[in-house]
Chain A
C-alpha cells in the first residue's frame, strides 16, 4: 500500500477547557478526494485550520509522506504543499487576474538594481493555468477578478494553488455559495485536480456534491469522527442521517410518515 500524503493520527484540539476536536484519525492519498462532511459547528473549520498550520494540534500527530510534521504558521504548511482555498478568500476583487494569480510571488524582470513586475508573463501564465482547468472563457489576464463569477474565482484560486506546487488541496465549502451550474464547474475542477495526482480534501455539507467527486468520506459530528467509509459503501440517505446525528433525521422522517398516514383520515 502507498504511503498517504497526509495522515492524522489521534489528533485532538482544545481551546482552553473547550474540546473542539477529539481523536481524529484520517488520511488522504495522492489522486484521491477525501470528503469531509459535517453540519455547522461540527469542527470542520478547526480541522482545516489545524491542517493548514493556523492551529497546532493539542495532541496527536500529523505526518506528510510518512514523516511527522508540525507547522508553525500557514506559510510553512503552504511551503510543504498544503494549500487552502476558502469560499471567497485569496482573491482580490479589484486586482487583475494576472496580478492576483501571482500575488506575493510576482515574476520580475530586472534592469540593473531595479525590479519590474512582469505583467506579460504573469498574465500569460495565469490565463494558461486557468484554461488548463477548463475555464476557457478567461482569455484576458488584465480583467479584474471582481468581474468573474464565483465558480471562476474558485477556479482561479485552485489553479494558482496547483501552479505553485500544492500537493494537498484543502477546499473549504467551495460550492456552498454557488448555483447549480457554477457548482458543477467547481466539481469538475476538483476532478481535474485529482486527475493530476493531487490529494484533495473537500469540505462540504452538501451530500450530493460530496458523492459526485469523493473517493473517501469522513463524517464529523461534534468534533469526533462519526464514520469513515469509501465510495459506494453508504447511500445518500445514510450519509445525511449520519451528518444530522442520525436520530434527528429518523425522528423527522417518522413524524412525516405519521403525518402522511394520518392526514387522509382527517380529511
Chain B
C-alpha cells in the first residue's frame, strides 16, 4: 500500500456489502492515492459499479468504512454528504445526461444548482469545459442526438464543472469504437495531469486501463486478489490475474456455470 497517509484520497477498510443473500464485498481494503489514476479491474458482476456508489455514499456498506479526505462517507448527515459530493464526480456508464436539457444546459446544470454565478460567467465556464472535451460545437444538441461516446464526453465536462478533486469513471470505455475509446483515454489522462485529479477507473478493458493508470487493484469474488503498479499486475503470478489479463476462457473463473449434476447423469436422465 502507499503511504504517507495524507496521500491517500480514498481509504476503504474491511468493506462488506451484499444484495440480499448475494455477497458482493467480503472484507475489502483499498487505498486510492491522491492525484493518481487508480484502476479497479474485475469481471462483470463483481460489483465494481457498486464500489463507486458506495464511495459516493449512495449505498451503505454492511460493515467497514469508506473515508474520502479522511471523512467517513457513511457517517455524514445528508447535507454534509451533499457537500462532500460537490468535490467528487461520478461518470456513469450511460452518461446519465438529463434528456430534457441540451448539451450546454447539462454542463451548466451543476453550476446553476450550486453557484450564483452570473449568466455570462456560466456561459464561459460551460464553453471552456465543452472545449476541453472537444464538444463546444455540439452545445445546442440534445442527448438523443449525440452518440454514446459523445454522451460520455459531455458527462465528463459536466462532472468537472464544479472542479472536483476526485472523479470516478464507471466503465468509461465499454462499447466504444477504437477512435472514441482513444479520445476518452486521452481525456482521462489529460485531466489527471492538468488538474491533478484523483481518478478511479472501474473497468474490464484491461489493456486500455492499465496503459494509463498508476496503480491497479484486481477484484473478484468479493475480495482484492492482487494490487500493484500496472507492471506488477502484468507480471503477477496469480492464476486469476493471468486468466483475467489474457482473457482465457477457463481457469480459476470456470467456463462452466456450476451445475447440480454431472454432465453424463444429466444427459442420461430420462425425461418423463
Is chain B a partner of chain A in the same complex? Answer: no
Chain B contact residues, CB within 8 Å of chain A: none
